[in-house]
Structure 1
Amino acid sequence: MTELNTLWLTETIRLREEHAGPLEDLEANRLARSAGGDLPSRIQRRALWLAERDGLAAALKHWLQGARLALLVLTVLAVISGAGLAFAAMGDGPHPVNVFWALGSLLGLNLILLLSWALGLVFAGEHGASLGRLWLWLSEKLARDAKAAQLAPALLLLLQRQKLNRWALGVLVNSLWLLAMLSALVILLMLMATRRYGFVWETTILGADTFIAVTQALGALPALFGFSVPTEEMIRASGDAALNIESARQAWAAWLVGVLLVYGVVPRLLLALFCLWRWKTGQTALRLDLNLPGYAQLRERLMPTSERLGVSDAAPEQLHRVASGVTEQQSDGALLVAIELDDQRPWPPHLPKNVSNAGILDSRESRHKLLEQLSRFPPARLAIACDPRRSPDRGSLALIAELARSASATRVWLLQAPPGEALDAERLGDWHVALQQLELPFADCAPMNWLETGHD
């Protein structure tokens, strides 16, 4: 995952917690603390874990796929629009082409929007907003992921802090117009290569000298690149009718192509490259704003001045699938732990020499202490003893899942009822269903052989 995507997901998590309240993040905070590093790296590590757990990382992939499809749609529209400009400028062929109407058709809208973009860049910094909103809207629609709706606002807020949104949209706007101008240029050359066009200019209130001056002024810069400019006699003669002279037609055609290339294609190319350069250099300055309330509140939890146990967060609405992040190379030994056993049951049972006893977890302090220990020294095998006479509430199941993620392999031991008591079949079935959803193996007999040797 790129650095930009990491910052993006971190900002998305911050916005989500700002609007919907704090997430259940005990395990995320613990893993971020155990990984070490400075505060920004811990905040990002916490956010990535929460994003993976809650599906935001997958939503980001869907959003990026939608963004690429939206960009493809806009690219096709730009190419078609450019071709349409060329066809509109050159007409149907039999009638002569009015050179200044053709020039207005090819460059008029482009130059107006280019001026609007430049003024917005200088005075407001929100240029290209309409095209940018269209792209964001298409990206969200094509992503087809409800969670992706939180990503676009987070991206805009992240980029606005370094004013990178103007350069990102600048790359988009100028690149699309560059494609439109290139499409118009290609179609223009194809039409001129396959049809014979005559060129005229017409006026009622302006004199011929005005058109001569304008034509020569516009052709001065293209002339530096080898494009020919009609002579004064050709320009003056074209005011009455299209000259049926091959050299005149070629001169006007070269002048029109040169003006389109120099004043239409080249500016958009240079601006697109400039915006891309500013975007690339600006990305290196992207940082988390640690002064924001959402990040400032995490400082004590991720970089505590003293260890504080007993933090209580709301239970998650649903349990998440267990996927251990610990490999056999990272772990060692075997451990037995029990959850909330009463005093009537003798504990611990007789354990083999290589199996450690983690005791009974019956308080927040004991849970946090063990989880912190497991984050530093994960066991290769972990057995979790549970009393199936208790209901499998969300808190207990979440603790089991968190413990299981801290070991290479985990088994749940559903203890037998004490002598003279019987287990509730319905409640035992609830335990079976819950553990199956967690995809954890379970049994009603002690897994001592497995703990000792690694196999039954």
Structure 2
Amino acid sequence: MDDLVTAPTQLDKHWLTEAVRLREEHAGPLEDQEANRRARQQGGDLATRIEHRALWLAERDGMGEALRHWKQGARLALIGLMLFAVLSGAGLGLAALGDGQRPVNVFWALGSLLGLNLLMLLGWAASLITAAEQGAVLGRLWLWLSERFARDAKAAHLAPALLVLLQRQRLDRWLLGALVHGLWLLAMITALGMLLALLATRRYGFVWETTLLAAEPFIRLTHALGALPSLLGFSVPDEAMIRASGDTLPALDLARQAWASWLLGVVLVYGLLPRLLLATLCLWRWRQGRERLSLDLSLPGYAPLREALMPRSERLGVQDPAPQALPQFQPGQLEAGASGALLVGLELDDQRPWPPALPSTVTNAGILDSRESRNKLLEQLSRFPPARLAIACDPRRSPDRGSLALLAELARNAGATRIWLLPAVPGQALDAARLGDWHEALERLGLPHADTSPLTWLEHGHD
């Protein structure tokens, strides 16, 4: 669960991508300009960009954290179902043998231990053959408990997204199958353990009873059921023991031990081993299919994203790798293909008259004072990079990491960039130490800066 914070699995990525698609399908498109821009900068094919966009939106809107909560709830729900399986298995074993005061009817005991298990197993096999919904009741119970334990309103689309994602490649049958068989396996292990504990600490007698049938059907059934367990070393009562058990309660310890061994062997072979094999098969098929999961780009929610994430006029070129600390600016990246001059202010207050008088060849891009304005300008620069860009900064503010990262990103989208450190407002003095911090930070980024107006440079390309 918590590993999603640092290293989301491929399943987590597909899951969140599908959850974002469902959310937009029900509530309308999200505000995604910054997400689209980051996805385009990330590069890759359309599926990769859709996934990157969705992951950024999911973390921004809290769906990533909701997924971690949902997984925590799913684990708590699974623990609850496992405890229920343990208690059920213990109850089956105790109900089958009783308290030892009365003789045990071997076929009634066998029916109580294996009857429901075999019926559910046959139902699962039939639904597998007919491609019907797998583990519907148990699956819905697990999903319902997971949501209740998560208690996060932002997780509303996570469970439907998981089902849609898995059903698309029919992986839900293997995931829920592993869950169903795993819980039944736990129940049968507990029942077998309870049988061993009771048989080791109490003295039981075994009988079979009938009013309509003769002894031969019981003899044949006992030998047929005991054939496979006998290969594993379990005892099978002989014909004399079986006939004696149908007439009176045999007092021979040899007969008691033979019936006890036969009962344990039948429960192991026909109750526990099938669930173990099927749980292993489902887990193997689930892991195989999970590695082949991919996005279905033909879905309606993904089609409108193609133009936004892979525009026909997209600029080609080497994209800078994701920075470890601050983005590094390399001058001259966009000299070819860039044109025009642009002046923009970064978080300027009302104490400064803005903009200054500009030549006709210089465009005023306004003041970047909100996320929307930054996104809008970055989007514009990514499509129409200017040949010269001047960014006016107020040196009274501290050069925080976010501002410096934005300066570097703006500079990467222009042919040449200069940072204009504005002079002090009349009546106020600049802090020399803070101004020094600006100089040091801009030098680390490799961005040229000056305290004088860059308007001549913007208009003519030189001072």
2:365 corresponds to: 360
Do the aligned residues in 1 keep the contact of 2:182 with 2:276 (CA within 8 Å)? yes
C-alpha displacement of 1:361: 3.6
For residue 406 of structure 2, give the secondary structure of its aligned residue in structure 1.
coil
1:128-160 CA distance string (max 9 Å, x none): 110010000111111111111210000000000
Q: Encode CA deviations 1:336-389: one digit per residue, 9 max, x unaligned.
A: 84169999645499xxxxxxx996347997552346799xxxx9xx86569xxx
Q: Does 1:406 align with 2:413?
A: no
For these two proteins, the number of residue pairs brought into alignment is 391
Q: CA deviation at 1:449?
A: 4.4
Q: Which residue of 2 aligns with 1:194?
A: 201
Which AA in structure 2 matches 1:51? A
1:451, distance to aligned residue in structure 2 (A): 3.0
CA pair 191-415 structure 1, distance change in 2 beyond 3 A: farther
Q: Give a deviation string over 1:366-418, Cα, whole Å, max 9, x none.
A: 552346799xxxx9xx86569xxxxxxxxxxxxx999776358999x999999
Choose from 97, 107, 119 the match for 1:112.
Answer: 119
Are 1:330 and 2:341 an aligned pair? no
Give the direction of change, closer, same or farther, for the CA distance of 1:371–1:385 in structure 2 (3 Å limit). farther
Q: How does 1:388-403 map to 2 (within 5 A)?
A: none
Q: State TM-score, norm by structure 2.
A: 0.76
CA 1:407–1:164: 2 relative to 1, 3 Å: farther
Q: Give the structure 1 partner of residue 20 of structure 2.
A: 13
Per the alignment, residue 300 of structure 2 pairs with 293
- Structure 1: give runs of 5+ residues left out of the alignment: 309-324, 350-356, 387-399, 420-442
Give the partner amino acid of 2:60.
R
Secondary structure, counterpart of 1:239 in structure 2: helix
In the other structure, the counterpart of 1:454 is 441
Q: 1:200 to 1:373 in 2, by over 3 A?
A: farther
CA contact (8 A) 2:343 2:365 kept: no
Q: Give 1:127 deviation, angstroms.
A: 2.2
Distance in 1 (CA, whole Å) between partners of 2:112 and 2:357 is 87
Q: CA deviation at 1:445?
A: 12
Look up the equivalent residue of 2:191 and give its one-letter code: A
The aligned counterpart of 1:162 is 169
Deviation readout 1:64-92 (Å, 9 max, x if unpaired): 01111110000010011000000000011
> Are residues 332 and 226 of structure 1, via their aligned partners in 2, closer, same or farther at CA, if it must alter by over 3 Å?
same
Q: 1:361, 1:367 within 8 Å by CA — same for their partners in 2?
A: no
Q: Structure 1's 345 and 197: CA in aligned 2 closer, same or farther, altered over 3 A?
A: closer
Q: What RMSD in Å do the two structures reach over aligned CA positions?
A: 3.8
Q: 1:373 to 1:444 in 2, by over 3 A?
A: farther
User: Secondary structure at 1:338's aligned position in 2?
Assistant: strand
8 A Cα contact 2:104 2:205, kept in partner: yes
SS at match of 2:247: coil
CA distance in structure 1 between the aligned counterparts of 2:193 and 2:309, rounded to whole angstroms: 58
- How far apart, CA to CA, are the structure 1 residues paired with 2:56 and 2:29? 15
1:220, CA displacement in angstroms?
A: 0.7
How far apart in 2 are the matches of 1:347 and 1:333? 29
The secondary structure found in structure 2 opposite 1:170 is helix
Give me the whole-angstrom Cα distance separating, in 2, the residues matched to 1:139 and 1:358: 55
**Partner SS state of residue 237, structure 2:** coil
**2:232 is the alignment partner of 1:225:** yes
Query: 1:340 touches 1:361 (CA, 8 Å); kept in 2?
Result: no
* C-alpha displacement of 1:179: 0.3
**AA at the equivalent of 1:330:** P
| Closer/same/farther in 2, CA of residues 272 and 228 from structure 1, 3 Å limit | same
Distance 2:422 2:132 in 1: 63
- Partner amino acid for 1:406? L
Q: Which residue number corresponds to residue 40 of structure 2?
A: 33
Q: Which amino acid aligns with 1:134?
A: L
SS of equivalent to 2:365: strand
Decide whether the 8 Å contact of 1:98 with 1:202 is kept in 2: yes
Which amino acid counterpart does residue 360 of structure 1 have in structure 2? A
Q: Tell me, in whole angstroms, the C-alpha distance in 1 between the residues paired with 2:423 and 2:30.
A: 33
Give the Cα separation in 2 of the matches to 1:288 and 1:409.
30
- Aligned twin of 1:369: 380
Equivalent position of 2:457 in the other structure: none
Aligned partners of 1:71 and 1:180: how far apart in 2?
Answer: 14
Offset, 1:124: 3.4
Distance in 2, Cα, partners of 1:358 & 1:385:
20
Distance 1:347 1:307, change over 3 A: farther
Aligned to 2:337: none
Whether contact under 8 Å (1:14, 1:295) holds in the other structure is yes
| Displacement of 1:327 | 4.3
Q: Judging changes above 3 Å, is the alpha-carbon distance between structure 1 residues 358 and 101 closer, same or farther for their aligned structure 2 residues? A: farther
State how far apart, in whole Å, the 2-side matches of 1:366 and 1:445 are. Answer: 31
The offset of 1:197, in angstroms, is 0.3
Q: Give the stretch that moved more between structures: 76-85 or 144-153.
A: 144-153
TM-score by length of 1: 0.77
Determine helix, strand or coil for the equivalent of 1:294. Answer: coil
- Contact 1:51–1:57 (CA<8 Å) still a contact in 2? yes
Q: Which residue of 1 aligns with 2:242?
A: 235
* Structure 1 residues 453 and 445: alpha-carbon distance in aligned structure 2, compared to 1, 3 A threshold: closer
Residue of structure 1 aligned with 2:155, choices 136, 148, 165: 148
Determine if the alignment matches structure 1 residue 133 to structure 2 residue 130: no
By how many angstroms is 1:448 displaced? 5.3
Q: CA deviation at 1:161?
A: 0.6
Question: Is there any run of 5+ residues in structure 2 with no aligned partner, and where?
Answer: 1-7, 316-321, 332-341, 368-372, 411-418, 443-463
Report the CA distance shift for 1:370/1:113 in structure 2 as closer, same or farther (over 3 A): same
**Preserved contact between residue 82 and residue 181 of structure 1 (Cα < 8 Å):** yes
Determine helix, strand or coil for the equivalent of 1:295.
coil
Q: How far apart are the structure 2 equivalents of 1:44 and 1:223?
A: 56
What amino acid sits opposite 1:214 in the alignment? L
Contact 2:355 / 2:366 at 8 angstroms: preserved in 1?
no
